[in-house]
Amino acid sequence: MDFEMLFKVANEAKENAYAPYSNFKVGAALLSKTGKIYSGCNIENASYSLTCCAERVAIFKAISQGETEFDTFIITSNTKAPIAPCGACRQVMNEFFDENVTIVLTNQTNKRKELSIKQLLPYAFDL
């Protein structure tokens, strides 16, 4: 994993966020096992429940392109501590990530926390 490269992609994605209501921009970068990187940013909507988080945008882009195996996922924002994904995003990650995917929570001061999906969501909904 090239953290600096993925962090740069996540930051660039963050700058594309559409966040006129919260002004809270989030970026994500997902590295597939094939070496391709998929970025995502949060996209808000006046009907708040229709908002889509950066994490889901990146994951859905990858899945829609036929990717099914992932290596590293980085999430960043302008937060004091490394940003944590919402519960919905954690559940989506659980659907598509195995325990070998490194999830890196970061912020703009380069604080970071590395986790697996089981650490991030120990009691995931599963069938």
Contacts of 113 (CB under 8 A, 6+ apart): 82, 104, 105, 106
Helix (H) or strand (E) holding 56: helix 54-64
- At which residue do the structure tokens 């598509």 appear? 96
Spot the catalytic one: 4, 15, 55, 114.
55
Does the annotation mark 55 as catalytic? yes
| Distance of alpha carbon 38 from alpha carbon 110, whole angstroms | 21
110 Rama class: left (phi>0) / alpha (psi -120 to 50) / beta: left
CA distances from 79 to 23, 41, 104, 106, 107 (A): 12, 15, 14, 9, 6
Which positions are catalytic? 55
